[in-house]
Structure 1
């Protein structure tokens, strides 16, 4: 069985028609049919069954198609990894980053890096911090933009201030500074439990000795700011989100109302030349 055969099989599965698949692939239909028959014979199952308007994947074929997609993805990643090892100017960098950095830090970094290394391809993964740590552990990500993590390399990028956002006209909207203890009777819009940012806000509120009611939860900080603007609660968000939808940003009293964002990577194995180049560029 060859990777080419699996690629052809996936085309047939997607189009559900052997003749159309042969035309797309640019091969004679008999050649394509023989390739499918060869895979079926080797696996000992029927992958497709004929129907009046083409073919359909059998239940056993569904397993084959799923595995073929996974093998294709793994092969592509292998080729990318080898390219990264050989050429720092044209390799692949897999970069994971926090959702909250999607509209501020990441686009600027990618723009600046692309100017000096236009042939390096960056594969992006936007996800919560817990998934970022898992991806670094498995190798699905080479580098990540997140909060500082124990046991990982660290290059600081941003010292982010957290502020309170309230709707225009809210009782606190005219204030320049608010203590966390003053929020005890308010409803908060929050990130769901299990996210690093939720833990940060929970720790702040716990240290202030309050447990406000939660009106809504959203994984997206921009959505949270919009819900606040609509009068559905107040929220603690990074400063750059304040005012986007007409909210009012207010400084929170307390020097600890900050979080540091940086580039992290595993130190127990060598980065590919392309990933090392991105790390060095960001840290310079």
Structure 2
């Protein structure tokens, strides 16, 4: 199997449309179709179910896609390592990070690191904790800044810092004047929460269980700014990290007194795959900060 055709298969699997994939790849539709036929002949099974003019990745195709992504990632990692050996001050780091760290922590650390290693390039992926873990294991990312700590059996970990969690309430809310509050004090309140399986939602679920709360969840959001916007509008309260900057003046953040109301943020990378020199340099830089 040619490496280029594996790359074509990944694009086709992601679009499930020959015309769109061919346009994205800059090849003709007949060329792409012939490449898919050769791949399926080599594998011995169809990788897509044909429904009209659409393609739908089947169970064989999903297996192939998973391993193609890993194979392509390994080849890219090898090329990066070779490039680094030729010039230790160059290379590429594929960095994944949480949405909630995108407006302050990650940009600041990238700025600081690039002052020391200006020739090292970054491919950035922003996502939820479970998406980040999958990206690392599939080889799409080298290292991540994430929370909570992923499976210790599969990931190496270095803690960067711990941030407290707080209860976000609207201005004028009965708990807004408190200097600290136990989560149990909000047991009767409607909650705005992140969707499962976001990392912060996992931590919030654990806090609810610890406090004996069966929460009334009025909305599940995909990002913290949406949560805080709904809190400001009076839809409910929310458990969020203590904000660093740019807070909504309509939202009051009351620190939680619960001992486990905290979020550990750290660096994670796959135990099964050694870090390439640029990624190791970046990890060492942040670990020594």
Q: Is TM (by shorter chain) over 0.5?
A: yes
RMSD between superposed Cα atoms in Å: 3.7
Match of 1:255 in 2: 259
Instruction: Indicate the structure (1 or 2) with the bigger Cα radius of gyration.
Output: 1
State the alpha-carbon separation in 2 of the partners of residues 264 and 256 from structure 1. Answer: 21
State the shift of 1:75 in Å: 6.8
Alignment counterpart, residue 273 of structure 1, candidates 244, 255, 277: 277
User: CA contact under 8 A between 1:165 and 1:242: conserved in structure 2?
Assistant: no
Alignment counterpart, residue 184 of structure 2, candidates 156, 181, 196: 181
User: CA contact under 8 A between 2:167 and 2:183: conserved in structure 1?
Assistant: no
User: CA contact under 8 A between 1:84 and 1:273: conserved in structure 2?
Assistant: yes
Unaligned runs of 5+ in 1: 16-20, 22-31, 46-57, 64-70
Match of 1:148 in 2: 149
SS of structure 2 residue aligned to 1:276: helix
Match of 2:193 in 1: 190
State the shift of 1:111 in Å: 0.8
User: CA contact under 8 A between 1:96 and 1:141: conserved in structure 2?
Assistant: yes
How do residues 1-284 of structure 1 correspond to structure 2 at under 5 angstroms? 13-14=22-23, 78-79=75-76, 81-87=78-84, 88-146=88-146, 147-149=148-150, 150-151=152-153, 152-240=155-243, 244-246=247-249, 247-284=251-288
Unaligned runs of 5+ in 2: 9-17, 39-51, 58-67
TM-score, normalised via structure 1 length: 0.73
State the alpha-carbon separation in 2 of the partners of residues 194 and 283 from structure 1. Answer: 27
Aligned length: 248
| Cα deviation code 1:28-58 (max 9, x no counterpart) | xxxx99xx9888888889xxxxxxxxxxxx9
State the alpha-carbon separation in 1 of the partners of residues 76 and 208 from structure 2. Answer: 48
User: CA contact under 8 A between 1:242 and 1:249: conserved in structure 2?
Assistant: no
The alpha-carbon distance between structure 1 residues 269 and 90, as it changes in their structure 2 partners (threshold 3 A), is same
Runs of 4+ off more than 4 Å:
1-4, 9-13, 36-45, 58-61, 74-77
TM-score, normalised via structure 2 length: 0.72
